[in-house]
Homo-oligomer: A and B are copies of this chain.
Amino acid sequence: MRTVDPERHRQRRMEIVGAALELFATQGLAGTTTAEIARAAGISSGALFHYFPSKRAVFLAMFEADREEWDEAFAAARVRSDPWAALEEVVDRVAAEAAHPLMAGLIVEVLAQAHRDPEVAGLVEAGDRRMLDGVAELVDRLCREGTADPGMPAATAARWVLTLTDAFHTRGYPEPDRDRAAETATAKRLIARALRYDGPGSPA
């Protein structure tokens, strides 16, 4: 006879992760204390360590929501009839995610941790690979349609697409005068230029 409600337990964990995410983004992992996380989540230190065995475990738990979200996004892209439109929607989605004011700080912190913690590196790489595979699948459709340069392998092309969309969030300091709509439009244009197949004489 289980007295525990698994759904409530999961819910509580996600609340804690949400509160911690904000602190990690602004102060970093090492710069955030477990006491701060507990206070932000409105619970005691004891309760925090009931839900997570360590501060690091809270950090690692952040990767789950993102994974689910992108799995759904690529599933949706897969059933779209127009692969160019699907690719642009992926770009829009990355731009929207990056527009969250906390995201830039969170990403650099995650990347910094990935350099020190192999498990973080594994989660980052897994997420990156999901993005890469999803985009490569779309590029592959473009090639088979004949609207993308077949000279570049789909995986390579996908990597450079992601490099261009990385521009939305890798900058490490706040740039107040960013025009995100214009950036998104430019990124799409450059992606089109990078991938488009103009025939045998195209610049390669």
Contacts and interface: CB of A to CB of B under 8 A. Distances in A.
Interface of A: 25-28, 30-31, 104-105, 108-112, 114-116, 121, 124-125, 152, 156, 159-160, 163-164, 166-167, 170-174, 186, 189-190, 192-194, 196, 203-204
A172 B111 contact: yes
Q: How many copies does the complex hold?
A: 2
A116 B164 contact: no
B28 A156 contact: no
A71 B28 CA distance: 32
Nearest to A182: B156
Contacts of A172: 110-112, 114-115, 121, 124
Contacts of A171: 111
* Chain A interface SS verdict (over half): helix
A174 B125 CA distance: 9
Contacts of A163: 163-164, 166-167
Contacts of A124: 172-173
B194 A27 contact: no
A173 B30 contact: no
Given A108-B111, A121-B173, A116 B167 contact: no
Nearest to A172: B111
28 contacts: A26-B115, A28-B112, A31-B116, A105-B112, A108-B108, A108-B111, A109-B112, A111-B111, A111-B172, A112-B112, A112-B172, A114-B172, A114-B173, A115-B172, A115-B173, A121-B174, A124-B173, A152-B186, A160-B167, A160-B186, A163-B166, A166-B166, A166-B167, A166-B170, A189-B204, A190-B190, A192-B203, A193-B193
A4 to B, nearest CB: 36
